[in-house]
Chain A
Amino acid sequence: MNTDIQVSPETMFTETEIGKQKRWIENVMRIFFLVMTSLMIIPLLLIIGYLLYKALPVLSLEFLFTNPKDNMRAGGLWAPFLGTIYLVVVSLLVAAPIGVFAAVYLNEYARESWFTRITNLAVVNLAGVPSIVHALFGVGAFVLFAGLGESILAASLTLAIMTLPVIIASTTEALKAVPMSFREACWNLGATRWQTIRRIVIPNSISGILTGVILQVSRAAGETAPIMFTGAVFYKAIAEGNLFAYNITEQCMALSLHLFTISTQVPDVTEGIPYGTAVVLVGSVLLVNAVSIVLRIYVRTRKKW
């Protein structure tokens, strides 16, 4: 047989023109996407660095534990900081049980049907409702209709509903991670549905559930719009150092609203204070998030199945 094509040993393992071009494009693309990704991450570091740098002169423990003074032109963050803690804790107490049980229903009770489909759609849509619409809802439902007035309670309930999808989504994920065989084994021993959930499903997914609850805290702490008209005020003096200075039927200050107020509404604020407020707000939110991430990584490494 006559072969026209001769493959010599020298050319067999060298790259063809087209191969070279392919490899070149590949590398360009890899670097291009790397740059795209880094361009998102650099702002995060830059912003945190900038805020910290500007806030450095005012940051101290005293800043955290004194009230705002001089019509909020000076002083510290005690009243808004405590207010945010109140709002977060009360909203957590409402949202955590409802959210966890809603996820339990969706994952353990409901069977695949048009009804579960609608429920899931409602969760997605609840997460997509703009924060300012939640504020309007809070005004309409809690402040006026339920007669709670502008109070910590009304603001917390608004926050609770807003952050519910966070808890539902992460709890559902945690419950799904528990193998079906665990439940089946338990049912076979004669346990009821609820006994199985309480003794087997929840203990085996508790860390995952906690991750979602912690994320809810971080989300609730940072929100401004939903609390603006439902319970947070520009200024309210409270006793310094007293953890029980607020009453949940009264209004309170909040870190996020305080940052908005002193950076847009109050003239001549001492230079570093808005930056200090931003650092405390971002710092607490990121800290809470970091806890949630560490917990998640810990759960993953400890997983027994």
Chain B
Amino acid sequence: MNILRKKSAANLPFSETVIELFIRLCGLSSIIFVFGIFFFVFREGAGFLFNGLGLGQFLTSPEWYPTSLSNKRYGTFALILGTFSVTALAMCIAVPFGLGAAIFVSEFCSPKLRETFKIIIELLAAIPSVVWGFIGLTLMNQLIITVFNAPIGLTMLNGSIMLALMSVPIIVSIAEDALKAVPDSYREAAEALGATRWQVIYRVLLPAAKNGLLAAVLLGAARSIGETMAVLMATGHSVNIPSGPLSWIRTLTATIAAELGEVARGDEHYQVLFIIGVLLFTITFVVNLIADLVIKGIRQE
């Protein structure tokens, strides 16, 4: 095989060599871009990261006063907490619904109904984040004010519901793939022993697919952590250590989106926003990597 390939490579016309080179370059593109993203975001913030900004204070201080005249402070603890609390609450809402829907679509549905549900879920995933933010700002805001008798509806709960609706499609599609990947012989064996559909799901499928389901939840969470416009518009956007679902919060992503337009290039504040970008990149990179390893783990089994 190798000999054949080498021989044919030698006889290739020039145009084909060029095309192959181009294809190989494109194949490399995603690696180049991932490194490029890290490099360029890091480059803009590096100056201040290495001299001036204390990393300990940056990560643990809740005081975010980037525009203070006398004493500028860049603590992102409240923002990190904001990001993680809104994501956690979103996952509390999205995971039961997402996994429930995945189980229904993959185990209880007729093929025709399954196709319909999948199309609807795909359309749900297509709605742009700014539209979710707008719905949070208008419809959900009113709803929360009426239901909880709150003074203002732009809260962590509002943002979490929007994030839940945005990440449910991802959870459903990946969890459904994981359930489908369980061999049919498992189902048949359990059914032959007299198990009902629910018993098969609960005792056989869920344990067998647990890695895939975990990956689904992780990817849903990664999506929520990285989401910008919806949380910017729906969570009240005030720096605050969250005290409950009805408190206002601000996230890492929303901070960059709201403040990058107002800073001068090369400014300390400008560089800090890029360092937050590096932090976000790192968090989502790690979560995605874990999810990938978890999925690969199943395949090898």
Which A positions have Cβ atoms within 8 angstroms of B?
Answer: 22-23, 25-26, 29-30, 32-34, 36-37, 39-41, 43-44, 47, 50-51, 97-99, 101-102, 104-106, 109-110, 118-119, 121-126, 128-137, 139-141, 144-145, 161, 164-165, 168, 192-195, 218-219, 221-225, 228-229, 256-257, 259-260, 263-264, 274-275, 278, 281-282, 285-286, 289-290, 293
Contacts and interface: CB of A to CB of B under 8 A. Distances in A.
A220 to B, nearest CB: 10
Contact of B31 (A22, A37, A118, A263): A118
B37 A129 contact: yes
9 contacts: A40-B172, A126-B30, A137-B37, A137-B40, A164-B29, A222-B126, A228-B257, A290-B123, A293-B119
B16 interface: yes
B33 A161 contact: yes
Which residue of B28, B96, B134, B289 has the most chain A CB atoms within 10 A of its CB atom? Answer: B134
Given A125-B289, A164-B30, A274-B138, 9 more contacts: A30-B198, A37-B105, A41-B121, A51-B135, A129-B226, A135-B257, A164-B33, A224-B229, A229-B261
B265 A40 contact: no
Closest 8 pairs (CB-CB, A-B): A222-B128, A130-B226, A105-B27, A36-B100, A140-B40, A101-B26, A33-B104, A128-B288
B40 A22 contact: no
Interface in B128-143: 128-131, 133-135, 137-139
Interface size range on B against A: 35 or more
Contacts of B34: 122, 125-126, 129
Interface string B12-46: 10001001101110111111011011001101100
A26 B198 contact: yes
Given A37-B117, A101-B23, A130-B227, A263 B134 contact: yes
B288 A106 contact: no
B26 A218 contact: no
A32 B277 contact: no
B196 interface: yes
A133 B281 contact: yes
A102 B27 contact: yes
A125 B196 contact: no
Nearest to A165: B30
B108 A30 contact: yes
Nearest to A45: B120
Contacts of B22: 101
Given A26-B198, A122-B31, A130-B227, A137 B41 contact: yes
A133 B168 contact: no
A102 B37 contact: no
A47 B135 contact: yes
Contact of A224 (B130, B273, B285): B130
Nearest to B288: A128
Contacts of B156: none
Nearest to B13: A192
Nearest to A107: B27
B228 A109 contact: no
B104 A37 contact: yes
A140 B266 CA distance: 11
Contacts of B105: 37
B192 to A, nearest CB: 15
